[in-house]
């Protein structure tokens, strides 16, 4: 797996260790019940003597613990909850040895790129922090051969007012697209989110604090109004579906339209949410880095 990061300014100090530290946070392993990889990044271009050159940055991470044979028995079956059928429908052909570009493995590339974006944001006092709000009983789920999803909350501090481009590149629209692009993500809400639909305008509108100082008593807007950052913290929550690969018996269609009963064996996460936290941070950082760079040329 790997990535190419284009558009990063020259002179940004970034080390392999900083990238590896982020990758370690999403690294699979026995604690998650999945494949165990070292996830050691190798920088191929774009960085010299610890600083970015302004040219594309290429990073590669070599897989060392693949076992493609695990998938042979599912060659002609469309696994429930996976993109097997839709990939076949779109391209007419697919590699059955895993999920490919729809696999959770590809989030490694997002995190590697996100490490660079986070470093750029930190120079401007912007910090991205996410956490899991879910605590499923992993041991019980494993014993049942089942899995769980969950919710991740994300908070961005230090964001200046004015980031975002109306109408089709609104900051929340771009963040939503970036987070929803993570394979298992099925929903996102900013600030009060869906609960805002049950509020009155007088309740949803953020009111100034009594002592002023440009602060607000609430942040129902999630730090974004009109698609542009307000200067408040950016707040959102993202919902992730359960891992579709489970050992519990399920029914599935095969390529001939017949129904088969299957049990999916192999090294799969019981819950991907803990590992997805850093992926959410990475996608958020990449979007904000883009808008930060764009803001440099939006004013005289």
Q: Report pLDDT digits (tens) over 71-109.
A: 778 889 999 999 999 999 999 988 888 767 888 889 999
**Nearest-angstrom CA–CA distance, 161 and 227:** 11
| pTM exceeding the 0.95 threshold for the entire prediction | no
Q: Say if residue 207 is exposed, middle or buried (CB neighbours under 10 Å; 0-12, 13-18, 19+).
A: exposed
Q: Domains of the chain: which residue ranges?
A: 63-295
Residue keyed to tokens 């530290």? 21
pLDDT score at 30: 45
pLDDT score at 35: 54
Secondary structure of residue 155 in the 3-state scheme: strand
On whether the CB atoms of residues 277 and 110 are closer than 8 A, the answer is no
CB contact burial 242-260 (16+ within 10 A = b; e otherwise): bbbbbbeebebbeeeeeee
**Nearest-angstrom CA–CA distance, 151 and 237:** 7
pLDDT score at 66: 62
- 264-38-95-97 Cα dihedral, nearest 10 degrees: -30
**185-190 and 250-253 strand pairing:** unpaired
Secondary structure of residue 74 in the 3-state scheme: helix
Residue keyed to tokens 């970036």? 178
The list of the chain residues with pLDDT below 50 reads: 30-32
DSSP 21-69: HHHHHH---GGGTS------EEEEESEETTEE-SSPEEEEE------GG
CATH number of the domain at 63-295, please?
3.60.150.10
**228-229 and 150-157 strand pairing:** unpaired
Secondary structure of residue 156 in the 3-state scheme: strand
Residue 3's DSSP bridge partners are: 59
H helix runs in 205-272, sequence order? none
Query: 186: closest CA among 157, 216, 151?
Result: 151
Residue keyed to tokens 């100082």? 213
Radius of gyration over alpha carbons of the chain, in Å? 21
């Amino acid at each position: 797996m790997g990535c190419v990061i284009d558009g990063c300014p020259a002179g940004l100090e970034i080390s392999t260790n900083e990238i590896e530290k982020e990758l370690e946070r999403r690294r699979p392993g026995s604690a998650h019940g999945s494949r165990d990889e070292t996830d050691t990044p190798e920088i191929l271009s774009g960085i010299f003597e610890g600083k970015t050159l302004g040219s594309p940055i290429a990073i590669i991470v070599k897989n060392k613990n693949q076992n493609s044979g695990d998938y042979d028995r599912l060659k002609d079956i469309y696994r429930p909850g996976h993109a097997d059928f839709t990939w076949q429908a779109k391209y007419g052909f697919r590699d059955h040895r895993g999920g490919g570009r729809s696999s959770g493995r590809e989030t490694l590339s997002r995190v590697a790129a996100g490490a660079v974006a986070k470093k750029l944001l930190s120079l401007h006092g912007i910090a991205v922090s996410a956490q899991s709000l879910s605590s499923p009983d992993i041991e019980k789920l494993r014993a049942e051969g089942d899995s769980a999803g969950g919710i991740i909350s994300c908070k961005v501090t230090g964001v200046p007012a004015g980031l975002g481009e109306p109408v089709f590149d609104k900051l929340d629209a771009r963040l939503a697209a970036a987070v929803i692009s993570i394979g298992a993500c099925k929903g996102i809400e900013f600030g009060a989110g869906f609960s805002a639909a049950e509020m009155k305008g007088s309740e949803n509108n953020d009111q100034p604090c009594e002592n002023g100082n440009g602060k607000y008593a609430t942040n129902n807007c999630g730090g974004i109004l009109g698609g542009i950052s307000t200067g408040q913290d950016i707040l959102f929550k993202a919902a992730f579906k359960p891992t579709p690969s489970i050992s519990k018996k399920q029914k599935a269609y095969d390529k001939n339209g017949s129904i088969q009963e299957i049990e999916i064996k192999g090294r799969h996460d019981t819950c991907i949410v803990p590992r997805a936290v850093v992926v959410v941070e990475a996608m958020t950082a990449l979007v904000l880095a883009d808008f930060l760079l764009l803001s440099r040329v939006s004013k005289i």
